[in-house]
Amino acid sequence: MKKILLLLSVLLLVSIQLFAAGAQEQKAQQPVTLSVMWFNDANESDVFLATIADYLAANPHVKLDMQVVAFADYEQKLKLMISGGNPPDVARVTNNHLAALISSLEPIDGYVADINAVKAQFMPASVAFALDDAGKLRAYPTEATANGMIVNKTAFAKAGIDVVALSKTWTWDSWEQAVRKVIAANDKIKYGLALDFTPHRFSTMMFQMGGRFLNENQTAMGFNNPGTIAAIEQFKRYHDTGLIPKSVWLGSENPAELFQAGLVASHIGGSWNINTYNKNVKDFEWVVVANPKGAINSSVPGGKFIASFKDSKNKVEAQKLMAAFSDKAHNEMYCRDTFNLSSRVDAQVQYPSNMADFATFKSDLEKTPPFTANEWKHPVVNKVSAYIREQIVEVLLGNITAQQAVKNVDVKGATFF
């Protein structure tokens, strides 16, 4: 009897185990709809869907509810969703978003076997943006971005300038001499430079002139320094002497449109412009060249990431999807089709064109000092950036001096520490 009871108990235990395992398996395969929030620089949402099509085919229980939001409204919408306890399962974010949202993101550490191996797959600067204060990785880097100079090669050639050769050693002074010749030699070219209406793009020039936002330890503002003042004054001089169109920083016209229309000789913008210009520029030849040297050589590193949130409803499936999307093959495909630099160290993206342009952006990034990334990762720089933009415009309008502007920014920034 005892043996029978023992046998029955064993059978019962085994069947419970089997049932539990079966139920777990069944649960894992239950249909799940992941809410995905995305913004586009160009065609990224379409390419994202195409890239993970094979993952979705292999995991038919996973469906996506994708919402593409205009970049201008993106951060506000995300913040409202997070504060309302209803964040998406997956979202595309920039390094600027990370500075503001990182505490709300779900750490990846708990979902992968070896987090150090994951971190090692990506560029250190990209990983640095995605680490929280405790060193936990909160997002997968997807694309690395850099600020660089894109020039109208045809216009330079018409002025007798081999811009690619010149740019290998050019400084801001030699750039200025060259673009003045370009303006003189081309009827259509009215300006030397268009620079996006953002402090991020302005910081390209600022870092090159030796400026910075914070002190070295990042414990206080440090905008009031000779390099920053020199950059603002140079920027104003370019506006006053007609090298830069006033319509961008004073009238919020799109600098990319001015470049595409062939009105400006060069554009300091992000690496994602390659995609846009490939599609839209038909009338002239353009090329990415090295940034002019000021006190130092510098670009501004940045990046795009994919992340899930602490309050996301389907974190496990979201993490699986993100891991798959970030692997070498998917990342290469995504970066190739969106014309973006990959954040992966092992990526060998075969772009259909513009290989040299990407190489130039990458080369500029390699010359960029690491503090530039750390400054843009700092939440205070993000909070004060709109005010910085306003203060620079006040200088351009002649309402205040560069010295007053940097002091004002330091006072304002100090309230956030």
Stretch that binds other proteins, among 208-216, 252-260, 293-301, 337-345 (CB under 8 A): 252-260
Residue 86 contacts other proteins per CB under 8 A? no
Nearest to 313 by CA among 114, 66, 132, 87: 87
In 209-344, where does DSSP find H-type helix? 226-240, 246-249, 255-260, 273-280, 315-325, 328-338
Q: Which of 103, 215, 353, 404 binds other proteins (CB under 8 A)?
A: 103
| 38 three-state secondary structure | strand
Nearest to 206 by CA among 303, 267, 291, 129: 291
Residue 390 contacts other proteins per CB under 8 A? yes
CB 146 within 8 A of CB 302: yes
Residue 83 contacts other proteins per CB under 8 A? yes
CA-CA distance, 243 to 172, in Å (whole number)? Answer: 12
Residue 250 contacts other proteins per CB under 8 A? yes
Q: Please, what is the Cα angle at 268 between 75 and 406, to 5 degrees? A: 70
Euclidean distance between the first and the last CA atom of the chain, given in angstroms as a whole number: 76
Distance in Å, CB of 259 to other proteins, minimum: 11
Residue 411 contacts other proteins per CB under 8 A? no
Q: Which is nearer to other proteins, 347 or 381 (CB)?
A: 381
Residue 414 contacts other proteins per CB under 8 A? no
| 317 three-state secondary structure | helix
Stretch that binds other proteins, among 13-21, 39-47, 161-169, 395-403 (CB under 8 A): 395-403
**What Cα–Cα distance (Å) separates residue 145 from each residue in 110, 125, 161, 170, 303?**
28, 11, 28, 22, 5
Q: Which of 46, 109, 132, 253 binds other proteins (CB under 8 A)?
A: 253
The 312-331 site mask, x for binding other proteins (CB under 8 A), equals --------------------
Task: Name the amino acid, one letter, at 317.
Answer: E
Q: Which is nearer to other proteins, 80 or 165 (CB)?
A: 80
Q: Which is nearer to other proteins, 4 or 72 (CB)?
A: 72
In 25-82, at which residue ranges do the beta strands (DSSP E only) sit?
A: 32-38, 62-68
Residue 75 contacts other proteins per CB under 8 A? yes
Residue 196 contacts other proteins per CB under 8 A? no
Residues that bind other proteins (CB under 8 A): 75-76, 79, 82-83, 100, 103-104, 190, 197, 245-247, 249-254, 257-258, 261, 263, 382-387, 390, 393-394, 396-397, 399, 416
